[in-house]
Structure 1
Amino acid sequence: MKKLNEQEMLHRMAAYCSSAERCEQDVRQKLVKAELEPEAVSRIINRLRQEKFIDEARFARAFVSDKFRFNHWGKYKIRCELLRKEISEEEIELALSSLEMEEYDQVLMDLLKTKMKSVKAKDERERYYKLLRFAVGRGFQPAEAGACLKRLWQGGYHEEFDMD
């Protein structure tokens, strides 16, 4: 494979950023992998930022929206992934604040109801803790998951499922 020059890589990265929201770290990884000089990498990233191909705040909002709506991730897991992508704390907070709390709680409740159907447990306590661990693994806070589970138990929803 032939090595591309800076101008060609700029065009490729512009097309890459146009196809979906990308963060600076994703673009930087591709450019480093293409074995460009560090100065060229910086120039390309600055140009992409100037021309609004890269916008960290826009990326954070899109990431939060997609991971919540399609993957049903909780705030904690989304936050960790955004930090891993080197998004600033302020932009993460702003993006997470766009989530509607009612919808957030409803997604958690639906996840727990669905998971409850497949959880095998010898008693209610074991079922409760398995569901709690599941919710925490999805990135929901233990207090949020506990509150939803409490509502499920008070509503009698858990009694529909046999113990195995």
Structure 2
Amino acid sequence: MTSDFQLTRNSFEHLVLISSDGTVHENVSPVRAFPIQSPDEGISLVLEDGQEVAWIDRLSDLPEAIRALVDAELAGREFMPVIQKIESISSYATPCTWHVKTDRGSTAFILKGDEDIRRLGLASILISDNHGIQFLIRDMHAIDRHSRKILDRFL
């Protein structure tokens, strides 16, 4: 269903989907099926009540204009910085403050407890801070040695 609909914004900046049969769906939102493992595959366009009105197999299959609208909407709804380096931590006991470099810049956050670090698959790690913001490490094996050493203490 990736090419049989049109997507635009209305005057309120909400997404409007027009299906191949001409049905107009106001206020649609893109939702990733697999936001961490396959962020560019399997995206559902849903109404406010959760009803799916379109499915996107791959973002790359969409025309550029529609892909730009979906990307912009997802970026506005999702906030999950990717940790590139753990610069320091205040303590190996929790709660502790982590100073990290992310794809969105350097920041610090408080890790409340060991249970706030979760493995996702074989290599990914999700870390939740004391405000509920989730930080992602896509591949713990690819991160630098210093960061890996700190991670090993918590895993």
TM beyond 0.5: no
By percentage of residues, which structure has more strand? Answer: 2
For the pair shown, the structure with the greater C-alpha radius of gyration is 1
Q: TM-score, normalised by structure 2?
A: 0.30
By percentage of residues, which structure has more helix? Answer: 1
Q: Which has the higher contact order (CA 8 A, sep 6+)?
A: 1
